[in-house]
Amino acid sequence: NAGVMQNPRHLVRRRGQEARLRCSPMKGHSHVYWYRQLPEEGLKFMVYLQKENIIDESGMPKERFSAEFPKEGPSILRIQQVVRGDSAAYFCASSPRADSNEKLFFGSGTQLSVL
């Protein structure tokens, strides 16, 4: 029973390029959450998705960032025209339900470095 899988583990992009981060939730989980972690800081909520729906994107920057969780395949966090400030670790978590009884299980993250 694989956990939350994220890829790539490390992603290097030059300023202006696009970054695509993938997250495959645990088997049976249909709720996905993306968090960003800057160096020596806690994780900050970005977006919450269910299959084919964005439920809460209150933590997403207004521009350049988008997320999707299609019916088939992994959830994708997409960052267009990356800037150095986007350099961070991006973590994905999944749960089978939306209520607060669930313990979120996190993936190992994608470390994005923008040159």
Partner 1 sequence: GESVGLHLPTLSVQEGDNSIINCAYSNSASDYFIWYKQESGKGPQFIIDIRSNMDKRQGQRVTVLLNKTVKHLSLQIAATQPGDSAVYFCAAITGGGNKLTFGTGTQLKVEL
Work out the angle at residue 90's Cα, subtended by the Cα atoms of residues 14 and 41, and round it to the nearest 5 degrees. 105
In whole angstroms, give the CA distance from residue 103 to residue 98: 10
Q: Which tokens in the block code for residue 60?
A: 């997403």
**Shortest CB 81 distance to partner 1, Å:** 27
Q: Are 2 and 102 in contact (CB under 8 A)?
A: no
Count of residues engaged in binding partner 1, rule: CB under 8 A: 26
| Binding-site string for partner 1 from residue 18 to residue 57, where x marks contact by CB under 8 A and - marks none | -------------x-x-x----xxxxxx--x-------x-
Closer to partner 1 by CB, 5 or 76: give it. Answer: 5
Q: Which tokens in the block code for residue 17?
A: 């390029």
The reply to whether 69 sits near partner 1 by the rule CB under 8 A is no
Which residues, in sequence order, are bridge partners of residue 47? 34
In whole angstroms, give the CA distance from residue 16 to residue 36: 20
Closer to partner 1 by CB, 44 or 51: give it. Answer: 44
Residues that bind partner 1 (CB under 8 A): 4, 31, 33, 35, 40-45, 48, 56, 91, 93, 95, 98-100, 102-109
